[in-house]
Amino acid sequence: MTDKDTFFSKLLSRYFCLTEEGLCQKFWRAKLFTPFKKGTKDFEEWNGIFTDEGDEYFGVNLTEIRKAAIGDSEPEFVLLLESYGFPNHYYICLSDPNPNNPTVFGTDHEVFFREISNEGSLEDFLKNLLQRIGL
């Protein structure tokens, strides 16, 4: 296809929309996630498993977040993106020591906060996303 306008129009209509089927998109969420903050809906729903003492099926493992020198025993997060791939949730921590370029953490719905990947700084994470789609 040589017509750039048609190409980008088709690209936007196919991949930059909510769909039922997975097309490897990443969906912007920017949603606060507060499993440690008493009085929040997230606390009521999640706090019982947000301990470091869980077994492989219950509890969380915040080791990767603690390694990033965040040091907050009860961190709050922002869910940035959701996707159909692994990991399918990407978070930043609000107590990150570098608020201008925080570390992005990935976790998947099947191992939610039991397995966490360090995806690098927000700037590098976004650069990698753009490179993967050829921009």
What 3-state class would DSSP assign to 1? coil
| pLDDT tens digit sequence for 90-106 | 999 999 999 999 999 99
Average pLDDT over residues 18-39: 81
61-85 core/surface letters (b: 16 or more CB in 10 A; e: else): bbebbeebebeeeebbbbebbbbee
Residue given tokens 């370029």 in the structure block: 101
Domain residue limits, the chain: 25-132
| pLDDT tens digit sequence for 39-55 | 999 999 988 887 655 55
Q: Measuring CA to CA, which residue among 59, 53, 95, 58 is closest to residue 74?
A: 95
